[in-house]
Amino acid sequence: MKLFPIILAAGQGTRMNSALPKVLHPIGGKPMLQHVIDRCKQLKADKLAVIYGHGGEQVRARINDDGIHWVEQAEQKGTGHAVAQAVHLMDDDDCIVIAYGDVPLIKSKTLQALADSLQQNDLTILTTVLDNPKGYGRIVREAGRVACIVEEKDADDTIKQITEVNSGFIAAKGGDLKRWLQALQPENAQGEYYLTDCVGMAVAENKRVDTLICENPNEVEGVNNREQQAKLERVYQQQQAKTLMENGTSLLDPNRIDIRGNLTVGKDVIIDVNAVFIGDVKLGDNVVIHPNCVIQDSVIGSNVTIYPNSVLEQAKVADNCSIGPFARLRPGADLQKQAKVGNFVEIKKSQIGEGSKVSHLSYIGDTEMGKNVNIGAGTITCNYDGVNKHLTQIGDNAFIGSCTQLVAPVSVGNYATIGAGSTITKDAPAEQLTLARAKQISRSGWQRPTKNEE
Ligand code: UD1
Ligand code: CA
């Protein structure tokens, strides 16, 4: 039997109240649909289809789609109608697993169990038991055996009491599904072709219909509105926090970390509250991250400390560096070993050499800095002439006095010293003191202005 997951993602998601198609709304920074696709791909499926419709172009543009059969459902006439769009891809002995693009936390282990259940069953429904089953299709049983599924909108008060609900995920063979889908009628409160009506048909044919009960309801909870999205976001973040801690990371508060992408962590890392990791972030061993840091697409070496309120994006930080508090590393910031970037310092597309220090109130952009350089407080590189960006080069062991402006393109030699307050427009030679500022004068007999009388 070939495994063929089909993901339903054509619905509009009216209750999200959004211009973005529902399945593109993110959990952990990744579209819900992509979560489901990634889990289906882990199954090593033989083929994979996504039924798309509402916001189709946006959906196809935003989803990484290698190996996906995209099947359009131009009009959304219900879940059964959606699956019916893919019948041309189904072989009779395919093991079809229907997944939902708006149920992002499903685990591939569960999908696999659903698929494996077809060795005993003809149709398996993934169900769960909810304290508040409102809105879901209810599993109606007779003498303990599944009889049918009744949607909330078609349910009477007795059925509404049932707490076992349809997750939406089902498994069945291609041949059976094709027959059932053809026979669906939109005779229900919503006038839709319900996939769930296949269950009653299977029972009528004396097929083996059973349920697989999902122990963790979060895994099969759907997102229909932003409140549910926010809830599943927290669940997802808590799962990631738990995994991090299991792998040896200390979290000062596991409820106050957000990972929106892939975080790879070395041993004995300590992460204080309100850290946000975006995209691909790697942390070496013994990294300490103080409160309120945002780190995006960056690689951080071992024994690095990032002090509070620092923001890093596309930065490379080697071992034993110190960053912040209140530092901003922008794309192309490249800190070599033991470099220090202190408070209110912005670094863009610049290499900060081994052991060099930019400790206070600086902007360093488009710069190649050597080793053991000291940049005085308030120093800036004037890298932009209004049209083009230019390079600043600073040699090993240079000392740049406070509040220097380095007007690029310009270079400062090894062991050069720049006097405080200089505006450097020409290359400063190695080992010399360079000063570029008006000479200090003092006037005796000078009087302060007095206030005019009116
Ligand atoms: C559906 C189930 C319900 C189950 C619930 C679980 C049916 C009739 N009902 O109800 O038993 O408890 O999910 O979350 O199946 N979709 C399409 N095309 C359509 C309609 C929907 O692709 O024409 C997609 C949606 O994008 C979504 C999924 O199918 O991913 C479910 O659709 P939705 O309208 O949310 O179904 P529910 O009313 O929640
Ligand atoms: Ca739904």
Q: Residue 65: pLDDT above 80?
A: no
Write out pLDDT tens, residues 201-247: 999 999 999 999 999 999 999 999 999 999 999 999 999 999 999 99
Which amino acid residue places its CA nearest to atom 22 of ligand 1? 10
For ligand 1, which residues put their CB under 6 angstroms from it? 8-11, 51, 73, 76-79, 81-82, 100-102, 136-137, 149, 151, 165-168, 194-196, 222, 224
- Do the domains 226-434 and 2-220 match in fold? no
d(CA 197, ligand 1 centre) in Å? 13
Shortest-distance atom of ligand 1 to CA 222: 14
Mean residue pLDDT of the chain comes to: 96
Which amino acid residue places its CA nearest to atom 16 of ligand 1? 11
d(CA 137, ligand 2 centre) in Å? 10
pLDDT at 44: 82
**Cβ partners under 8 Å of residue 299, min gap 6:** 281, 282, 315, 316, 317
Q: Which of 58, 79, 220 for a ligand 1 pocket mutation test, highest count of atoms within 8 Å of Cβ?
A: 79
pLDDT at 454: 79
**Is 81 tagged catalytic?**
no
Is there a contact between 235 and 219 (Cβ–Cβ < 8 Å)? no
What ligand has the least distance to the C-alpha of 36?
1
pLDDT at 64: 83
End-to-end CA, the chain: 100
d(CA 173, ligand 2 centre) in Å? 23
Given the residues 54, 88, 290, 360, select the one marked as catalytic.
360
For 192-203, what is the mean pLDDT? Answer: 97
pLDDT-derived band at 54 (thresholds 50, 70, 90) equals confident
Q: How far apart are CA 62 and CA 71, in angstroms?
A: 16
DSSP character for 233?
A: H
Ranges of beta strands (E only) in 284-391 are 288-289, 294-296, 299-300, 305-306, 311-313, 316-317, 322-323, 327-329, 333-335, 340-343, 345-352, 357-360, 363-369, 374-375, 380-382
Per-domain residue ranges for the chain?
2-220, 226-434
Q: Residue 389: pLDDT above 90?
A: yes
Range 2-220 has CATH code 3.40.50.80: no
pLDDT-derived band at 291 (thresholds 50, 70, 90) equals very high
pLDDT at 66: 82
- Percent above pLDDT 90 for the chain: 96
Rg, C-alpha atoms of the chain: 31
What ligand has the least distance to the C-alpha of 11?
1
83: alpha, beta or left, given left = phi > 0 and alpha = psi -120 to 50? alpha
pLDDT at 206: 97
Helix ranges restricted to H, 17-107: 32-41, 56-62, 79-84
pLDDT at 388: 96
Write out pLDDT tens, residues 411-424: 999 999 999 999 99
CATH superfamily of 226-434: Hexapeptide repeat proteins (2.160.10.10)
